[in-house]
């Protein structure tokens, strides 16, 4: 199933995509209170995804709307937490330009991103006013479906409700500057994350799951031009089960939590340039960014203008990072070799 959050103008509601129709899940399950998004569904008792699946077999014509007539929102409007991992060695190594730290190979590393700046499909994402180097990051995502602590990797897929596309918008100038202090990304990742277009349930994605990884092809386009094509999402060094195990150890995961895989190899603008794409550049207002992932769909975004721009703002980056050399990694090819 494809679980989504939609809006017809009266506010967000949880839905499920059935052919070319959106079925309202609140009505489908006969809930007393409106389910505002996919998180609200997952927070219900008694295996809510199974309940939706069972009821979908009945007469649902009176509960449906044409898909073309609704606005899609982020499947989870405000996740309890957003953890973003860095699981692809091509990205972690700068396409072979550096050796990742030993800790990167030993455990899945993540940081907490901002759950208060979540954008959905077709949304306009404001250009961060303090930045001059806006980048996209093409990532896979998952949504946690049930609460857990100290979950073993072998049981982890039982805790994942489904998968989506995740865009970790990154201000490369701010990120480069602040990470020199060795604390990790903060304002460089603070302005926006995009999630969508829906959550494809884990059972529907099962044909793509092998060895704990999503064997899917990923493509990024800007203004209709392909900047990177059919990246292999199945070469993540760490598995989705490892993400869940690491995140839940001595901690807690809950329904609606979002995990990002980290950028798939070649899935940032700098990597596209290094691969030799002559059209690739940092993003500008008006750019239309499309991520397409096999088995999931397409997540579209438009870069909006800067809001409340202040030329005298004091916390801008000291200097702008240089663009990578065009074609530096043109001959670089990554093959997964788990140590």
Q: How confident is the model at residue 327 (pLDDT cuts 50, 70, 90)?
A: very high
Tell me which of 62 and 335 has the higher pLDDT: 335
pLDDT tens for 216-238 read: 999 999 999 999 999 999 999 99
Q: What is the DSSP string of 130-147?
A: T-S-EE-EEEEEEEE-S-
User: How many C-beta atoms lie closer than 10 Å to residue 270's C-beta?
Assistant: 24
CA 173 to CA 325: how far, in whole Å?
Answer: 17
Q: How confident is the model at residue 144 (pLDDT cuts 50, 70, 90)?
A: very high
User: Mean pLDDT over all residues of the chain?
Assistant: 96
Enter the pTM of the model: 0.97
Would you state the pLDDT for residue 63? Answer: 85
> Residue range 130-142: average pLDDT?
98
Q: Which fold has domain 82-304?
A: Fumarylacetoacetate hydrolase; domain 2 (3.90.850)
**In this model, does residue 296 exceed pLDDT 90?**
yes
Would you state the pLDDT for residue 83? Answer: 98
pLDDT tens for 17-33 read: 998 999 999 999 999 99
Pairing label, strands 170-171, 217-222: unpaired
Q: What is the DSSP string of 241-286?
A: HHHHHHHHTTS-B-TT-EEEEEEEEEEEHHHHHHTT-TT-----TT
pLDDT tens for 149-181 read: 999 999 999 999 999 999 999 999 999 999 999
DSSP type of residue 101: P
Would you state the pLDDT for residue 257? Answer: 98
Cα-Cα-Cα-Cα dihedral sign, residues 51, 54, 56, 60:
negative
pLDDT tens for 237-280 read: 999 999 999 999 999 999 999 999 999 999 999 999 999 999 99
**In this model, does residue 58 exceed pLDDT 80?**
no
**In this model, does residue 60 exceed pLDDT 90?**
no
Would you state the pLDDT for residue 184? Answer: 85
> Residue range 318-339: average pLDDT?
91
Percent with pLDDT over 90 in the chain: 94
Would you state the pLDDT for residue 61? Answer: 76
Would you state the pLDDT for residue 168? Answer: 97
Report how far apart, in Å, the C-alpha atoms of 153 and of each of 14, 80, 149, 240 are: 29, 22, 12, 8
Would you state the pLDDT for residue 339? Answer: 75
Pairing label, strands 193-201, 118-119: parallel
Cβ atoms of 92 and 121 closer than 8 Å: no
Please state the domain extents for the chain: 2-73, 82-304
pLDDT tens for 78-91 read: 999 999 999 999 99
Would you state the pLDDT for residue 221? Answer: 98
């Amino acid at each position: 199933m494809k679980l989504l959050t939609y809006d017809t103008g009266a506010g967000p509601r949880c839905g499920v995509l059935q052919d070319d129709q959106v079925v309202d899940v609140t009505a489908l399950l006969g809930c007393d209170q409106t389910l505002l998004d996919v998180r609200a569904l997952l927070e219900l008792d008694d295996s809510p995804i199974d309940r939706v699946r069972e009821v979908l077999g009945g007469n649902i014509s009176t509960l449906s709307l044409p898909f073309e007539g609704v606005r899609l929102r982020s499947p989870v409007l405000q996740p309890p937490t957003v953890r973003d991992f860095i699981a692809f060695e091509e990205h972690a190594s700068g396409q072979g330009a550096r050796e990742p730290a030993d800790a990167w190979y030993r455990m899945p590393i993540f940081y907490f991103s901002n759950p208060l700046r979540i954008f959905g499909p077709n949304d306009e994402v404001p250009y961060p006013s303090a930045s001059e180097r806006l980048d996209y990051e093409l990532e896979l995502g998952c949504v946690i479906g049930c609460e857990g602590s100290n979950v073993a990797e072998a049981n982890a897929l039982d805790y994942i409700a489904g998968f989506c596309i995740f865009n970790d918008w990154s201000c490369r100038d701010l990120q480069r500057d602040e990470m020199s202090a060795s604390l990790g990304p903060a304002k460089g990742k603070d302005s926006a994350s995009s999630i969508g277009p829906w959550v494809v349930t884990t059972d529907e994605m099962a044909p793509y799951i092998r060895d704990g990884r999503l064997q899917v092809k990923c493509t990024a386009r800007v203004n209709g031009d392909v900047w990177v094509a059919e990246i292999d999402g199945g070469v993540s060094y760490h598995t989705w089960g490892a993400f869940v195990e690491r995140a839940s150890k001595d901690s807690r995961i809950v329904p609606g939590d979002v995990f990002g895989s980290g950028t798939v190899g070649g899935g940032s603008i700098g990597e596209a340039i290094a691969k030799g794409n002559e059209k690739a550049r940092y993003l500008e207002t008006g750019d239309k960014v499309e991520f397409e992932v096999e088995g999931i769909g397409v997540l579209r975004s438009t870069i909006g203008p800067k809001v409340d721009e202040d030329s005298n703002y004091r916390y801008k980056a000291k200097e702008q990072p240089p663009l990578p050399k065009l074609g530096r990694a043109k001959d670089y090819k990554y093959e997964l070799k788990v140590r």
